[in-house]
């Protein structure tokens, strides 16, 4: 396996349990040595799909012990007024803010409990010969070629394994599309007594139409804020060069956050600006020799908080397929691909759609009314009406099924509303006419 990120560690644990002999090669140093994922999000939201995947191997409690439940969105408008919008009609349903480094360590340690799993840090994959299959690795001591029965690429959005497939499989389909927005992480430190300076159990959003900032709580009392903003344009990352530009932008757009961000200028200057990419490719496997999983197969933008959850769900499906076809790996890979591809594509579209919802619509009264209506219908029609966010976040319904079901529900709600309005207008006209 290539890549001991979130999905790599978890899949290695599943494969170790099934008795496979696994060598997991990771280009970075051991995250336990504190050298973690520079430039990626410090914390993430984990929900039902991800938790289920951790439960499957008995590490959910361990992973979630320091996670912070977030029960809804806390919307900050420009005047500092707050609106809380719960994620679900059931207050127990929440998403959880979890540290990437701690979760990564938990899954790697789960894999290392199996003596047949070996993790090799500081090994960077530079090429894969698909037919043999042989992986070329760069290490501190020079190049190394490792031959194996199969190679699984869990090496993230800029996967070297996928690149080899792209170069060597004639009809490999590949599409990458970047948003015009980038992201930058900033910090709200803990208060003087180590407590949280804003509501702890919420995902904070400052929606500003074409851009937004969000903040997720950390166990040490801090919040990690992420600014999603255009790379280019009149007001953008490119044009905001000086400390004064940054201060002015934040004071205009996020005035209630500024007093809570004493290191804003340093953070803005020093933290990298990441890009946001959607990657679609096919096929995800090459015979019984090579397979892709997680972001390597389907990177999505982070606005549904589902990239890792989906990568963990891939691990579950791969585990099931290998269990089902223990003597036919090609069939297992093919089955895994056919079960996941449509869902990964559906999630990619949902994630882009949710950016528009978060940065623009959450600020509007109509959005809040629609959420209330959603929750009303969910309570009135239990098990029949499920809001899209609920299906994606709090169930394990395949993403494509959730998206289709939401479209039908929306159509029925709009038709019913039009019907009700028509009846009301008709009745009024009839009364007035009498
Ligand atoms: C800003 C941001 C916020 C996010 N928020 C959320 C969220 O709230 N909820 C959620 O579910 N998802 C979220 N995601 C998505 C989530 O981070 C990814 O979907 C998830 O990390 C995918 O896991 P992975 O194991 O496939 O890839 P990764 O976690 O990227 O791991 C890939 C691993 O492979 C290693 N690697 C890469 N290349 C090589 C190579 N050539 N040789 C050897 N090793 C290599 C890397 O070092 C890394 O350790 C967010 C993403 C971003 C960018």
Q: Does ligand 1 lie within 6 Å of residue 25's CB atom?
A: yes
What would you report as the CA-atom Rg of the chain, rounded to the nearest whole angstrom? 23
Give residue 182's pLDDT.
Answer: 97
pLDDT of residue 413: 80
Per-residue pLDDT reduced to its tens digit, 181-197? 999 999 999 998 999 99
DSSP readout, 378-417? HHHSTTT---HHHHHHHS---HHHHHHHHHHHHHHHHHHH
**Considering only CA atoms, which residue is closest to atom 4 of ligand 1?**
302
List pLDDT tens digits, range 90-105: 888 999 999 999 999 9
- Is the minimum distance from the CB of 6 to ligand 1 under 6 angstroms? yes
What is the overall mean pLDDT for the chain? Answer: 94
Q: What is the pLDDT of residues 238-295, one digit of tens each?
A: 999 999 999 999 999 999 999 999 999 999 999 999 999 999 999 999 999 999 999 9
Cα distances (Å, whole numbers) of residue 177 to 213, 261, 362, 365: 22, 33, 25, 32
For ligand 1, atom 20, which residue shows the shortest CA distance? 308
Confirm or reject: Cβ of 345 under 6 Å from ligand 1: no
How far, in Å, is the centroid of ligand 1 from the Cα of 381? 38
* Nearest CA-CA partner of 149 in 162, 161, 135, 163: 135
Q: Tell me how far CA of residue 176 lies from CA of 39, 112, 348, 399, in angstroms.
A: 20, 34, 11, 20
Quote the pTM value. 0.95
If DSSP codes are grouped into helix, strand and coil, which group holds residue 238? coil
Using the predicted structure, report yes or no on whether residue 36 has a pLDDT greater than 60.
no
Residue 178 Cα, ligand 1 centroid: separation in angstroms? 16
pLDDT of residue 371 exceeding 90, the answer is no
pLDDT at 82 (0 to 100): 97
The minimum-distance atom of ligand 1 relative to the CA of 45 is 8
- Locate the ligand 1 atom nearest the alpha carbon of residue 296 and give its number: 26
99 lines ligand 1 (CB under 6 A): no
Q: Band the pLDDT of 318: cuts 50, 70, 90.
A: very high
């Amino acid at each position: 396996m290539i890549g001991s990120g979130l999905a790599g560690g978890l899949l290695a644990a599943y494969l170790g349990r099934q008795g496979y002999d696994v060598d997991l090669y990771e280009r970075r140093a051991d995250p336990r040595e504190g050298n973690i994922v520079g430039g990626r999000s410090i914390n993430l939201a984990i929900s039902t799909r991800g938790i289920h995947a951790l439960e499957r191997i008995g590490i959910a409690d361990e992973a979630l012990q320091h996670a912070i439940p977030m029960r809804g969105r806390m919307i900050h408008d420009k005047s500092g007024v707050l609106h809380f919008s719960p994620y679900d009609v059931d207050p127990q349903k929440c998403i959880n803010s979890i540290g990437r480094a701690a979760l990564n360590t938990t899954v790697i340690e789960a894999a290392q409990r199996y003596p047949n799993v070996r993790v090799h840090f500081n090994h960077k994959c530079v090429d894969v010969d698909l037919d043999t299959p042989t992986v070329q690795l760069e290490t501190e001591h020079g190049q190394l070629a490792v031959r194996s029965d199969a190679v699984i690429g869990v090496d993230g959005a800029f996967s070297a394994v996928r690149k080899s497939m792209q170069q060597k499989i004639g009809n490999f389909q590949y599409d990458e599309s970047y948003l015009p927005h980038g992201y930058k992480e900033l910090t709200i430190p803990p208060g003087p007594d180590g407590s949280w300076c804003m509501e702890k159990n919420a995902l904070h959003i400052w929606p500003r139409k074409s851009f937004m900032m969000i903040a997720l709580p950390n166990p040490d009392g801090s919040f990690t804020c992420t600014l999603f903003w255009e790379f280019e344009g009149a007001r953008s990352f490119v044009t905001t060069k000086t400390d004064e530009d940054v201060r002015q932008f934040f004071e205009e757009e996020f005035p209630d956050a500024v007093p809570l961000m004493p290191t804003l200028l340093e953070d803005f200057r020093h933290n990298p600006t990441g890009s946001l990419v959607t990657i679609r490719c096919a096929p995800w496997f090459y015979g019984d020799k090579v397979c892709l999983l997680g972001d390597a197969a389907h990177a999505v933008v982070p606005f549904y908080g589902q990239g890792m959850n989906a990568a963990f769900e891939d691990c579950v499906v791969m585990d099931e397929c290998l269990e089902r076809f223990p003597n036919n790996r090609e069939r297992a890979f093919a089955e895994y691909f056919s079960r996941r591809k449509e869902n990964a594509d559906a999630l990619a579209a949902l994630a882009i759609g949710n950016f528009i919802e978060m940065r623009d619509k959450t600020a509007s009264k109509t959005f809040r009314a629609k959420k209330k209506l959603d929750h009303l219908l969910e309570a009135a029609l239990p098990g029949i009406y499920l809001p899209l966010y609920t299906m994606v976040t709090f169930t394990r319904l395949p993403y494509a099924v959730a998206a289709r079901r939401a479209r039908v529900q929306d159509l029925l709600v709009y038709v019913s509303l039009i019907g009700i309005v028509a009846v009301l207008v008709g009745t009024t006209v009839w009364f007035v006419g009498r």
